[in-house]
Structure 1
Amino acid sequence: MTTHTDHDAISLFVSRFFRSLDERKFDDDWARAYFTDDVRGVSPLGVTEGRKALAEGTAEALGRYARTQHIATDIVTDVVTAPEGLTADGATVTVSWNALTTHVHLDTTLKDRGPDANPLFTVGGYYRAELRRTPLGRRFSRMAIEAIWTRGEPPVIARRAG
């Protein structure tokens, strides 16, 4: 079990991560602040391996919208492994939370869909993640996003040739 101090720190980390998604600065500093080198991400769009690929995929996915708002709630934390305590490098904690994400479509998407197009695509779901203690602090080493419900239409995703 995590302590109240650990839980508070992890909750703040999750909140900062969600806020950062809406600020849209997905550079190397952003990726290093939130992910381990070997992070594995699973989302409705597929599986992503590695910090650079996850940052690029996040930028691409959220770049399909004019704006977004990510809200996290009901954060639950549990220790997975802590051979020398939660402050030791390599100690891991699982964290999960409910998420409500609102995406505002680009003007070009709305124009393509016509005058009655819904400007919003909203998703309710869960995030499940693993945080690993590194010399730089806790970072996500695993993250999975599960959409439970949606409202509105997602953007059209162009298929890559190949």
Structure 2
Amino acid sequence: MNETTDTTELRDHIEISHLISGFFRALDEQTFEEGWAEAYFTDDVRMTTPLGVAEGAEAVRHMEESVGRFAATLHMSSDVLVRTAPGARTADVSWNAHMTHLHLDSTLWARGEGADSRFTVGGVYEGTFRRTDRGWRIGDLSVRAVWTSGQPPVLPEETAARVAELTGAGRS
């Protein structure tokens, strides 16, 4: 390794870490104006979550709907690891995340008196980022919950059925 290589790797790490921070901030602000996702994702992004796999515009819509099920969220990232070769067009990236979600009043009302207003998740994100002419973008992303606290949101019937199908819930 030489100083130029070290500088390039450091610059890539900083740019990717900044992209992750911006992505999490966008989720928390929930201001999804037309085209917002272009700053973070490739057009063909593939996302894998506990609710399933989605690609492209469907993945972005799924993410918007997911955070929209909450009154507020706060996503925090740490321990960003970037593995790439100098000059490479892709990077394998992983990071830890602590995600706090505050339920909508309608969720609390549906659950009744004493319902916990928070749903918290500790998880790991892993993905492949691509270097584009617009900078680094997320091309493939998966999130895995390591632990949870509280109850998840009340899901629309169609989504709940899809989750049950994906996870095998309800099978005897």
Which string of whole-angstrom CA distances, capped at 9 and with x for unpartnered residues, describes residues 78-137 of structure 1?
016x6xx14xxxx00111000000000000111111120000000001000111011111
Contact 1:122 1:150 in 2 (8 A): yes
RMSD over equivalenced CA pairs, Å: 1.8
Task: Give me the whole-angstrom Cα distance separating, in 2, the residues matched to 1:22 and 1:53.
Answer: 19
Q: Percent identity?
A: 47
Task: Give me the whole-angstrom Cα distance separating, in 2, the residues matched to 1:8 and 1:144.
Answer: 21
Q: How many residues matched? A: 154
Compute the TM-score of the two structures, normalised by the length of structure 1.
0.89
Structure 1 runs not aligned, ≥5 long: none
The corresponding residue for 2:165 is none
Task: Give me the whole-angstrom Cα distance separating, in 2, the residues matched to 1:26 and 1:93.
Answer: 26
Compute the TM-score of the two structures, normalised by the length of structure 2.
0.84
The corresponding residue for 1:5 is 11
Instruction: Classify the secondary structure of the residue corresponding to 1:21.
Output: helix
Runs of 4+ in 1 over 6 A off after TM superposition: none
Q: 1:22 aligns with which of 28, 33, 42?
A: 28
| Cα distance, 1:35 vs structure 2 | 0.7
The corresponding residue for 1:68 is 73
Q: Which amino acid is the alignment partner of residue 136 of structure 2?
A: R
Contact 1:128 1:145 in 2 (8 A): yes
| Structure 1 or 2: more strand by fraction | 1
Contact 2:15 2:136 in 1 (8 A): no
Please state if 1:59 is matched with 2:71.
no
| Structure 1 or 2: more helix by fraction | 2
Structure 2 runs not aligned, ≥5 long: 1-5, 163-172
